[in-house]
Amino acid sequence: MKWLLLSAGLLLVGTVYGHGEHHQQPQGGGQNVRMHDAHHVNDAEHLKEHLDGKANVDFSKMSEQEIQFYYFKMHDYDHNNKLDGLELSKAMTHFHHENDPNNVQKALADEEISNMVETILREDDSSNDGYIDYTEFVTAQKRNQENARIHQQQQMDQHQQQQQQHMQQQQQPPHP
C-alpha cells in the first residue's frame, strides 16, 4: 500500500523523523510521507508546536477539514495557495527539540528528500504544474485516508484468519 496515511496532512513529506515517531508511518517504496499522514495533518498538538505561541488558535473547535486547511496554509510560505518543491521539502525536514538528547532524529539526505518530493508531485499534482494546490491536497488526503482504512481492514481480516486457524489447530485431537 503505497500512500498509507498521506490523507490528512500536507500530503508531502517523507521518511521524516521530525516530531518523533508519529511521523514514521510506513509508505510504499520504503518511504514515509508525512504529508500523506492523516494523523500528522490533523494533529492539533503538532500544529500548536508550529505556532509556538504566535497565535491563540483553538483546534478543538475545528473540523477535520478546517485543520487540514490550516495545516496546508501553514506550509504555504509564499502565500500563493500552492505547495512547491521547496515548501514540500521544508515540511518534510522541519525538526523540533533539536537540543533534546532524548529525541534522536535522523536527518534526511538531499537525494531522499528530492525523491520524495518528486514522488509526491508525480502522484498528487494532477494538473502537472509543479505545485500541489489545495484541491489536489484534499483529493490526495481523501484517497490516502481510504487507502489507510482499507489497509487497516485487511490487517484486521488477516489477524482474524490467523486466530481462527490457531483455534482450529488447538481443537484437533493430537496425532498418536
In tens, the pLDDT along 11-23 reads 433 323 333 333 3
Q: Is the pLDDT of residue 60 over 90?
A: no
Tens of pLDDT along 117-136?
999 999 999 999 999 999 99
Q: Is the pLDDT of residue 55 over 80?
A: no
Q: Is the pLDDT of residue 57 over 50?
A: yes
Residues 6+ apart with CB under 8 A from 25: 4, 5, 32, 37, 39, 40
Domain residue spans of the chain: 21-145
Confidence of residue 54 (pLDDT cuts 50, 70, 90): low
What gap in Å lies between CA 97 and CA 20, rounded to an integer?
A: 10
| pLDDT above 70: percentage of residues in the chain | 59
21-145: CATH topology: Recoverin; domain 1 (1.10.238)
Set of cell numbers at residue 74: 501553514
pTM: 0.61
